[in-house]
Copies of this chain bind each other. A is one copy, B any other.
Amino acid sequence: MGSKDRILRLKEETRINILDASLDIVKEEGWQSLSMRKIADKIEYTAPIIYEYFANKEAILMELTRKGFLLLAKDMKEAKEKHRLPAKQIEAMWLAYWNFAFTQKELYQVMFGVDVNCCELAEIMPEAEVPFTLVTEVIQEIMAPQKPSEDDICVKYYTYWSVIHGLISINMVRRTTPDEINREILKTAISGITRSLSA
């Protein structure tokens, strides 16, 4: 009896519908306003039936991160296969990673726990600029002989910041890296960038 198959296929379909609806809502209104009732509305059911497909809301997010990792892996793999030189492969893969983060912004957010906070923090909170000025003063000092533009200094600051903040974030969402390794990454990264200032 093929009707069993048809029913199973329908079940698999609404499972996918739930995931699609969730991602749609997130793309329209952000992660904050994703609710079980809204998902149910979109798939034209009521909230409780979602629990026949997923244990809870967390399970939906988990499945979306899984889908995200699969997509990311696919993109990176394809980028890699477009090149032969190892150095080019690495660059292509990380550029694919970068592009994925912004074309699949919502997936990236749930995968790596990045909030989409307020936008113009520096404008409504001057205190947030102090660390920036503290560091850029010194960068300016070191780079003085080369007469750098404001943008040059900005680039250097964000290079420092991104590597450090990135390392911190990674360690916060999953503290898997041993501390000695972190210290080594941190120190060599900082001194590497610092060297690049007077180059």
A21 contacts B by Cβ under 8 Å: no
Q: Which residues of B contact A69 (CB under 8 A)?
A: 125, 127-128, 130-131
Contact segment of A2-10, A35-43, A106-114:
A106-114
A131 to B72, CA, bound (A): 7
**Per DSSP, are chain A's interface residues mostly helix, strand or loop, or mixed?**
helix
A186 to B99, CA, bound (A): 12
A172 contacts B by Cβ under 8 Å: yes
| A155 contact from B131, B161, B162, B185, Cβ within 8 A | B185
| A194 contact from B73, B91, B114, B127, Cβ within 8 A | B91
With both chains docked as a complex, state the minimum distance between the C-beta of A198 and any C-beta of chain B, in angstroms: 9
**Contact across chains for B164 and A97 when beta carbons are under 8 A apart:** yes
With both chains docked as a complex, state the minimum distance between the C-beta of A136 and any C-beta of chain B, in angstroms: 10
Q: Which residues of B contact A139 (CB under 8 A)?
A: 90
Chain A residues within 8 Å of B, Cβ to Cβ? 62, 65-66, 69-70, 72-73, 76-77, 80, 86-87, 89-91, 93-95, 97-98, 101-102, 105, 108-109, 112-122, 125, 127-128, 130-131, 134-135, 138-139, 141-142, 151, 154-155, 158-177, 181-182, 184-192, 194, 196
Given contact pairs A62-B125, A87-B194, A162-B169, enumerate 20 new A-B contacts (beta carbons under 8 Å). Answer: A65-B128, A69-B125, A73-B130, A76-B131, A89-B138, A94-B135, A94-B160, A94-B186, A97-B164, A101-B168, A112-B165, A116-B172, A117-B174, A118-B174, A120-B174, A122-B176, A158-B167, A158-B170, A162-B166, A164-B166
- CB-based closest 8 A-B pairs: A166-B166, A113-B115, A162-B166, A73-B130, A162-B167, A69-B127, A163-B163, A165-B166
